[in-house]
Every structure is written in C-alpha cells, then in structure tokens.
C-alpha cells in the first residue's frame, strides 16, 4: 500500500496529465450532451454578455452596408403593397382563411458573434428560447441561407454556420430539380463543395443551387449559391462541383430564424410511421 | 516563486484571454491563418512552477478560451498537452545550468537560439493538437498541415514581437 502511494506520488505529473487530457477530450467529444447541463448555461450567459458588448461596438463599422441592405429590402416590400399594383381586372376574388395556412414564420435576430476562420464556425444571435427558438430551426438572411440553430439558452442561441464540417444542406439545381448535397471543406469561406451530382446531369458554370425543402430546416427555393467549377469523375457514380456561396458569411448583421409552424405535425407523422 | 511573479502571471492570464477572444479570434487571412497568441502565458510560466500548477493553469486557460468560442474541451486539451511537454522540452534543449538563468524563460535570459527552439517546439505541439482535433478527419490532412504551419508562424511572430517589446535591449 505504501509502495503504491509512493508510486503515485513519484509519477503524479503523468497521472494528472492523463486525468486533465482525458477530461478535456471527453468534454470535447460529448459536448452536445453537455450543453444541457447547468455549467454550460452559465458559460453561455457569460460569453453571451461579452459577445453582445463586442458586437455593440463593431456594428458601427457595418452601418453603411446594413443601411444598403435595409433600403433594398424596403424597395422590395414597397413593390408588394397593394398600391403598387395597377388593377387590370375589376373582378374581385375572395380568399377564404381556411384555404391558406401560415407555414413559415420569421423571427429577426442580431448576430452578436460570428467567425469564418475556423474549420467549424458558429454564430451567436440575441434571440433565445423565450422568443420561441428551438433546435434545428433554419437561419437565413434575405433569401439566402446561413445555418441552423444547435443550442438555445433563454436569451441567446448558437447557430451552426454552413461553414462547419457537420453542416450538410440538401439542395437542388434550379433548372431541373436534381437533388445534391452542399458541404464546406474548410479554406475560403466564399466557396463550398457540391456532392453527389448524378452523372447524367449536365452542369455549366453559373448554374444556381437552391434549397430543396426536403430537410424541414429551410423552406424550398432559398439561394445557396452558383456553380463555379466541377470535375467529371471517371470511376464514381457521382460528379462533384464547387459552389460560390451567395451568402457573405463575413458580414452578417441581422438574420432571420425560420419557424416552421407545421413542424409538429410533420414530426408526428414521421413518428407514427416509424412506430408501425 | 515570489508573490510578485505570481501576481504578474495572474495578470497576464486575465490579459491574454480578452486579447485572444476579442481581437485575434476575428483575424482571418484566406481561411488558413488564425493565431493563438494566448499560449504565450504557458511559455512564460517560471521555471520553478510546481508541475501540477503547470497542468492545472494550462487547463483553466484553455477552458476559458473555449467558453467564448463554443468549443468546450478543444483548447483545453491542446493547452494541457503543451504544458505536459514543456518540462521535457526545457530539459532537452538546455545544455547546462548556465542556460537556465533567471526565473522565467525569455529572450533576454536565454538568448535567441534557445528561446526559438523552446517556443517553436511548444507552439507547434499546441497547434497540431488543436487543428487536428478540431477537424478529426484524415482526408484533409495536408490542408490542415498548411494551416498548422502558417498559424504557428503567425503565433511565433506575435510572441517574438512581444519579447522584443518587453526587452528592447535584447541580451
């Protein structure tokens, strides 16, 4: 027993190293479950406050661009109000409320921390569970995609950016609806990879890729980017391409969170199918 | 260790974290260079720091940076690994007792050659662990390798600039 004690005392440096290193690695690989614990919420609250201070200062530097985006958006909305239309037909059609149900609701949020230089990038926004945000909701800017919600605290949320190794977006060619997957391999934040393009699809540089709406995260038809290059693989069944993202991830100011109002119904349908 | 050294190291700890989190984490050159200057704290710990203190302070340092980048455990693991290798590196590159003048490793006390060996080895250990853990995929081995080299070089430049700023006369 005494020898054992002496052994531990003599080599405590190695044991302490193993203990701390294992602890770090376990936390790193399991931190998705870890996010539920109270310790994570505390650290999220601290970093949330610091990050809002940072963005409070840095948002002044992007005011010019924010203004331009807002003006463009306003012009778009102005062109949609009834007064902007010239009525060519005097017939009036009534729409019954029960025919149209609201499927997607949008919540605007401010980005208070963002990165594009890591292999796995995240954003933090200033809306959280008290505003109705939940995991797996999509995040967009205008009609372009940004990422999805992966963790929510009462006032803040973490968004997994498209620039992340775990991010995989189901997209399709605008011209012929062929399904593809969009990923990001690191490197430049402007360019990503398009995977699993069937061989018979003829691509040209400049083809538009939009969201497919298959994933329940994004509505159909949002812009992902345009094809900027491709390879014709010889032995595989699929071709790969390079995509130029429409979103400028380095200058995100205000984003919108997509709330799918029929999410519950879709999930329930899927659950009943699985249980049978 | 005098209480003065302890005080300076504690101040440095709380000074480097905001620098890393608020400034350096926002630096991005072409997606390849992201400096991790906060490990300067581990490089500058005094020679007679108790070994358990070395590991525990490295863990706390990495953890604090992790909290702000939502990468719980990533920086902590890299820092603990770097702190673990520190005593071995010091032993390996020091030829005799005269090379360990002064309390802390520095350009002024040990000279440029010793300090370069010391910081290059430890910074590269930290960056290799950090970048490969973050990706955890062998398919991007070479792209990650380039990121490690470029980012290590950038971190080292920052470390050397601060050494020259603190001790302008050199030796």
Contact yes or no for A117 and B34 at CB 8 A: yes
What's residue B77's pLDDT? 93
From A21, A124, A188, residue closest to B77, measured CB to CB: A21
Distance of CA B32 to the CA centre of its chain: 19
What's residue B128's pLDDT? 93
Q: A106-258 belongs to which CATH class?
A: mainly beta
Contact (CB, 8 A) for B54 and B80: no
A260 φ/ψ angles, rounded to the nearest 5 degrees: -85, 110
Question: To the nearest whole angstrom, how far is the Cα of A62 from the nearest Cα of chain B?
Answer: 15
b/e per residue, A38-56, with b = 16+ CB within 10 A? eebeebbeebbebbbebbe
b/e per residue, A202-233, with b = 16+ CB within 10 A? ebeeebbbbbbeeebbbbeebbbbebbebeee
What's residue A94's pLDDT? 46
Question: To the nearest whole angstrom, how far is the Cα of B19 from the nearest Cα of chain A?
Answer: 12
* B1 confidence band (pLDDT: 50, 70, 90): low
Contact yes or no for B140 and A24 at CB 8 A: no
CATH of the domain at B85: 1.10.1760
Contact yes or no for A17 and B55 at CB 8 A: yes
Structure tokens at A73: 């958006």
From B31, B68, B81, residue closest to A47, measured CB to CB: B68
Summarised one tens digit per residue, pLDDT across range A121-170 is: 899 998 888 888 888 899 998 889 999 999 898 888 999 999 988 888 99
Summarised one tens digit per residue, pLDDT across range A37-71 is: 555 555 666 777 777 777 777 778 888 888 888 88
Q: Which residue in A has a C-alpha nearest to residue B67's C-alpha?
A: A43
- Chain mean pLDDT for chain A: 81
Residue B122 pLDDT more than 90?
Answer: yes
At a CB cut-off of 8 Å and minimum separation 6, what does A22 contact? none
Contact (CB, 8 A) for A181 and A194: yes
In this structure, of A257-261, B4-8, B10-14, B25-29, the range with the lowest mean pLDDT score is: B25-29
> What pTM, to 2 d.p., does this model score?
0.61
Contact (CB, 8 A) for A34 and B72: yes
A117 contacts on B by Cβ (under 8 Å): 25-28, 31, 33-34
What's residue A204's pLDDT? 87
Question: To the nearest whole angstrom, how far is the Cα of A17 from the nearest Cα of chain B?
Answer: 7
At a CB cut-off of 8 Å and minimum separation 6, what does B139 contact? none
Q: Which residue in B has a C-alpha nearest to residue A157's C-alpha?
A: B70
A104 φ/ψ angles, rounded to the nearest 5 degrees: -120, 135
Give the mean model confidence (pLDDT) for residues B93-114: 76
**Where do the domains of chain A lie?**
106-258
Q: Which residue in B has a C-alpha nearest to residue A23's C-alpha?
A: B73
Contact yes or no for A158 and B68 at CB 8 A: no
- Distance, in Å, from the CA atom of B139 to the CA atom of B128, rounded to the nearest integer, reads 16
Tally of CB atoms within 10 A around B39: 29
- B64 in any annotated domain: yes
- B78 in any annotated domain: yes
Residue A80 pLDDT more than 70?
Answer: yes
By the CB < 8 Å criterion, does A29 face chain B?
A: yes
Contact yes or no for B143 and A187 at CB 8 A: yes
- Distance, in Å, from the CA atom of B22 to the CA atom of B3, rounded to the nearest integer, reads 29
What's residue A96's pLDDT? 47
Test the A interface: residue of B58, B73, B139, B147 with most A CBs within 10 Å? B73
Between B51-69 and A12-34, two packed helices, what is the crossing angle to 10 degrees? 10
* Location of structure tokens 């949330």: A48
- B122 in any annotated domain: yes
Question: To the nearest whole angstrom, how far is the Cα of B157 from the nearest Cα of chain A?
Answer: 19
Residue A201 pLDDT more than 90?
Answer: no
Total domains present in chain B: 1
Give the mean model confidence (pLDDT) for residues B122-141: 86
**Structural domain of B106:** 3-166
- B171 in any annotated domain: no
Angle at A105 between CA A102 and CA A107, to 5 degrees: 165
Angle at A168 between CA A241 and CA A244, to 5 degrees: 40
Contact yes or no for A17 and B59 at CB 8 A: no
Contact (CB, 8 A) for A104 and A261: yes
A34 contacts on B by Cβ (under 8 Å): 72
Summarised one tens digit per residue, pLDDT across range A221-247 is: 899 999 998 887 777 778 888 999 999
Question: To the nearest whole angstrom, how far is the Cα of A35 from the nearest Cα of chain B?
Answer: 9
A29 contacts on B by Cβ (under 8 Å): 73
């Amino acid at each position: 027993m005494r020898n054992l004690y002496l052994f531990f005392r003599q080599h405590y440096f190695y044991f302490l190293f193993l203990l701390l290193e294992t602890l770090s690695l376990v936390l790193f690989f399991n931190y998705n479950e870890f996010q539920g614990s109270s310790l994570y919420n505390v650290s999220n609250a601290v970093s949330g406050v610091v990050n809002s201070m940072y963005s409070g200062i840095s948002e002044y530097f992007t005011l010019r661009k924010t203004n331009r985006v807002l003006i463009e958006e306003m012009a778009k909305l102005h062109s949609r109000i009834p007064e902007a239309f010239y009525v060519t037909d005097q017939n009036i059609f009534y729409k019954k409320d029960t025919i149209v149900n609201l499927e997607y609701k949008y919540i605007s949020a401010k980005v208070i921390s963002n990165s594009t230089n890591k292999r796995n990038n995240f954003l933090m926004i200033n809306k959280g569970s008290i505003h109705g945000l939940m995991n797996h909701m999509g995040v967009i800017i205008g009609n372009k995609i940004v990422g999805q919600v992966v963790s929510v605290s009462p006032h803040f949320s973490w968004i997994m950016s498209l620039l992340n190794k775990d991010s995989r977006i189901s997209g399709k060619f605008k011209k012929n609806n062929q399904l593809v997957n969009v990923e990001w391999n690191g490197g430049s934040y402007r360019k990503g990879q398009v995977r699993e393009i069937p061989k018979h699809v003829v691509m040209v540089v400049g083809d538009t890729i939009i969201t497919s709406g298959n994933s329940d995260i994004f509505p159909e038809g949002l812009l992902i980017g345009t094809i900027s290059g491709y390879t014709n693989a010889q032995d595989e069944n699929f071709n790969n391409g390079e995509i130029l993202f429409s979103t400028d991830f380095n200058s995100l100011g205000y984003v919108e969170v997509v709330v799918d109002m029929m999410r519950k119904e879709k999930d329930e349908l899927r659950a009943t199918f699985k249980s049978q | 260790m005098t209480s003065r050294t302890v005080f300076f190291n504690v101040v440095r700890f709380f000074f480097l974290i905001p620098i890393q989190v608020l400034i350096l984490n926002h630096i991005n050159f072409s997606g390849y260079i992201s400096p991790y200057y906060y490990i300067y704290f581990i490089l500058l710990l005094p020679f007679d720091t108790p070994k358990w203190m070395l590991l525990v302070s490295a863990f706390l340092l990495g953890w604090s940076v992790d909290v702000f980048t939502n990468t719980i455990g990533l920086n902590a693991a890299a820092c603990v690994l770097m702190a673990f290798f520190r005593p071995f590196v010091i032993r390996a590159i020091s030829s005799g007792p005269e090379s360990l003048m002064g309390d802390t490793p520095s350009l002024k006390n040990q000279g440029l050659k010793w300090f370069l060996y010391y910081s290059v080895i430890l910074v590269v250990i930290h960056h290799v662990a950090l970048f490969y853990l973050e990706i955890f995929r062998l398919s991007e081995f070479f792209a990650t390798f380039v990121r490690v080299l470029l980012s290590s070089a950038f971190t080292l430049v920052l470390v050397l600039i601060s050494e020259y700023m603190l001790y302008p006369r050199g030796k």
